[in-house]
Structure 1
């Protein structure tokens, strides 16, 4: 694994703490992130692909929109440092810029940038979940021992694009013969999907359950059963509230994950992350994925706040606001470096 550490404290020595700006790729959850940052008094920067900036320039809470060819993302680092910028990673950053470059990016990054490598590799991802002692689907390294149906997943933050289900060995071998990308073959667990949003706070020394959602995927919900092959491309998200009796398990799995990250991927996880699961009919929670940064599912409560946020702050707060709140408190308490890598 690549671990070329960035000296965050050295970078922050040149920053004016009263003039911090928040920057992110203009995609995925950028509107939520930048709106929250603006609400907390930060200058905001949206970094868009060429000819995509026009959409983001219409929003008054975004102070600057830069159009950049992401193959040359490094060229804007001096400008980001000049603006005292903290970069907020999300799925589009992982997909368009890539974890290898993200790890080396010489700009203070919120959360644990090194976790992006584990997130991008399906086998590392499952290794971390298993180390955390969280129930996961079975992986089939040898398809001769596969128990069908199985799901085949591609590596990277692709929003489910390219995933497919195989009902038997013949179908699996036929579909695999067409794949050129890295993949993993996993047991397909039958049940209800639920994706949990967490925030691990260094400022308050606690793990917060912040919300949950269900992904709205192209046609896997079988609105057209038997007519086409089910596909998993995410087109949106739907809010969901779990029965309260499940929340202790969700909290416990989140805490186990935080502990595992602290041991395997130092310096640990700060800020938002997600565990993605299937809940079976006996109320077992089987976790099949994680995202080590903000997920697009948090957009379901943008501007109105998560109902779970009131448990910690006695007022609604969305994840963009929660990130900004943590950074603001980190600056105030002199502990900002602990939130960044």
Structure 2
């Protein structure tokens, strides 16, 4: 069996883990990245595409003996229409993609899971506090902006329209900006052993908001620099242990709700992207319904994955382990779609 993925995001971790579990590995990469991926001996095959339609064709060539592992670049690069044309089995529930790509549906799913979320403002006119305005899709924070009143929200949305990042204000979500420490809680839900595992925690490193920390507020005002939120890296984190029961409760609630609303529900890795306040409240502002790039920090396992497996277990290897065990038990249909 071949484990394949798109050449971006967390591809190296995914294929390194697949090789550890005994699979043949394949990467489908932009031809400009072909030489980079050929550096790694655990990748058996590098297929280089020159167009996104060609990438879909390459994925479908392994439909009889392969499984595609999705990550954040899959829908963002290929687009929903091309992803719908993929005939090869995809690890996880491909119906989650639609919910993840729509900020409003995403927050609805979290709210129905009895998870604490920030206040959502339906219209710019309703804004009465500091907010962050976000775009749909896995854009890594590109285009997000802060605003402290309705005028700034309207002005920012108009700039996004003029830059053609969006067509109208219906394509953004206006969310209360919660003050606290960002913590991105990574989980893995196993249909095979019916268990939700806390797999790691990371903090996103974003430009230019993190770079602005080095400047005084007066200097920022003088230079008229606006903060941006484009993710360029990740930092490992470990939470105080008293936070973990709530985080796991949220994760289990999320798994149950996805089974009800997005059948067959959550399969494999997901992330609850959160702010922890000074009252130790965990406020979840987004979710990712697949592997997140923050798991790249833990190629040899995180402090949490060791507690479950007592061996090096990256998220990439955990995915491959689930596929291998499911295949051995003749239950592959429980982990692919």
TM-score over 0.5 for the pair: yes
1:276 is displaced (CA, Å) by 0.2
Aligned counterpart, 2:193: 204
Who is 2:146 aligned against? 165
Matches within 5 A, 1:1-341: 20-68=1-49, 69-82=51-64, 84-180=65-161, 181=166, 182-221=171-210, 222-224=213-215, 225=217, 226=220, 227=223, 228-302=225-299, 304-341=300-337
**Secondary structure, aligned partner of 2:32:** coil
Structure 1, gaps ≥5 residues long: 1-19
Residue 189 of structure 1 aligns to a residue in which SS? coil
Query: Following TM superposition, by how much is the alpha carbon of 1:175 offset from its aligned partner in structure 2, in angstroms?
Result: 1.3
Instruction: Give me the TM-score of the superposition, normalised by structure 2.
Output: 0.92
C-alpha distance in 2, partners of 1:122/1:72?
A: 29
Report what 1:4 is aligned to.
none
TM-score, normalising length: structure 1: 0.91
Question: Size of the alignment, in residue pairs?
Answer: 320
Do the aligned residues in 2 keep the contact of 1:194 with 1:213 (CA within 8 Å)?
A: yes
Aligned partners of 2:47 and 2:58 also within 8 Å: no
CA RMSD of aligned residues (A): 1.2
* Conserved? CA contact 1:272–1:292, under 8 Å: yes
Deviation of 1:312 after TM superposition, in Å, equals 1.3
Shift of 1:71: 3.5
Q: CA deviation at 1:205?
A: 1.1
Alignment partners' CA distance in 1, 2:10 and 2:30:
15
Q: Secondary structure at the match of 1:178?
A: helix
- The equivalent residue for 1:11 is none
Quote the offset at 1:168 in angstroms.
Answer: 2.3
SS at match of 1:193: strand
Question: Structure 1 stretch 173-182 or stretch 271-280: which is displaced more?
Answer: 173-182
Say whether the 8 Å CA contact 2:144–2:228 is kept in structure 1: yes
Pairwise CA distance, 1:324: 0.8
Cα distance, 1:247–1:78 mapped onto 2, change above 3 Å: closer
After TM superposition, give the deviation of residue 101 of structure 1 in Å.
3.0
After superposing on structure 2, the runs of 4+ consecutive aligned residues of structure 1 that deviate more than 4 Å are none
Q: Please list the CA deviations of residues 305-333 of structure 1 after superposition, one character each: whole Å capped at 9, or x if unmatched.
A: 11111221122311011111111111111
Deviates more, 1:102-111 or 1:87-96: 102-111
CA contact (8 A) 2:28 2:59 kept: no
Deviation of 1:103 after TM superposition, in Å, equals 3.6
1:151 aligns to what SS in structure 2? strand
- Give the deviation of 1:233 after TM superposition: 0.2
Shift of 1:65: 0.5
